[in-house]
Amino acid sequence: MLIQFSVENYLSLKEKVVLSMLASNDTEHIEHLITSKKKESYLKAAVIYGANASGKSNVLNAFWFMVNYVLTSHEKQLHKPIDRIPFKFDKATLEKPSSFEVIFTIDDIRYVYGFSATDKEVVEEYLYYYPNGRQAIIFERKNTNEYRFTVDVDEQMTLRDRTSANKLYLSVASNWNYKKVVPVFGWFASCKILTKNSVADAYGVDAEQLRDDEYRSVIEAMLRVADFGIQSLQIREVENVKRLAKTEEEYINIDAIHLVQDEDGNTHPFALNMTEESDGTNSYFKLVGIVKNVLDKGGLLVADEMDAHLHPLLMKHLVMLFNSETYNPNGAQLIFTSHNTNLLDLDVFRRDQIWFTEKDEKCVATDLFSLYDFSVRKDAKVEKGYLIGRYGAIPFIKEGLL
List of residues 6+ apart from 325 with CB closer than 8 A: 31
Would you say 12 and 58 are in contact if contact means Cβ atoms under 8 Å apart? yes
**pLDDT, mean of residues 323-349:** 94
- Residue 206 confidence class, pLDDT cut points 50, 70, 90: low
Is residue 401 predicted with pLDDT exceeding 70? no
Average pLDDT of every residue of the chain: 89
**pLDDT, mean of residues 79-97:** 95
Nearest to 301 by CA among 63, 52, 27: 63
Rounded distance, CA 57 to CA 50, Å? 9
Is residue 318 predicted with pLDDT exceeding 60? yes
Kind plus residue range of the DSSP H or E element containing 335: strand 333-337
CB neighbourhood size of 231 (10 A): 13
**pLDDT, mean of residues 207-218:** 83
Q: Model confidence over 106-158: pLDDT tens digits?
A: 999 999 999 999 999 999 999 999 998 899 999 999 999 999 999 999 999 99
Is residue 202 predicted with pLDDT exceeding 60? no
- Residue 397 confidence class, pLDDT cut points 50, 70, 90: low
Is residue 178 predicted with pLDDT exceeding 80? yes
Q: Which of 50-54, 179-183, 307-311 has the highest mean pLDDT?
A: 179-183
Rounded distance, CA 158 to CA 174, Å? 13
Is residue 395 predicted with pLDDT exceeding 80? no
**Dihedral over alpha carbons 308, 312, 318, 324 (to 10 degrees):** 150
Is residue 99 predicted with pLDDT exceeding 50? yes
DSSP string for 127-185: EEEETTSS-EEEEEEETTTEEE-SSSHHHHHHHHHT--TTS-HHHHHHHTT-TTTHHHH
* Out of 229-238, 267-276, 363-372, least confident range: 229-238
Is residue 348 predicted with pLDDT exceeding 50? yes
Would you say 48 and 336 are in contact if contact means Cβ atoms under 8 Å apart? yes
Top pLDDT among 62 and 37 is at 62
Residue 114, SS3 per DSSP: strand
Is residue 199 predicted with pLDDT exceeding 60? no
Would you say 335 and 301 are in contact if contact means Cβ atoms under 8 Å apart? yes
Is residue 289 predicted with pLDDT exceeding 80? yes
- Residue 250 confidence class, pLDDT cut points 50, 70, 90: very low
What pLDDT score does 244 carry? 45
Query: What are residue 34's phi and psi, to 5 degrees?
Result: -105, 125
- Residue 165 confidence class, pLDDT cut points 50, 70, 90: very high
Is residue 240 predicted with pLDDT exceeding 80? no
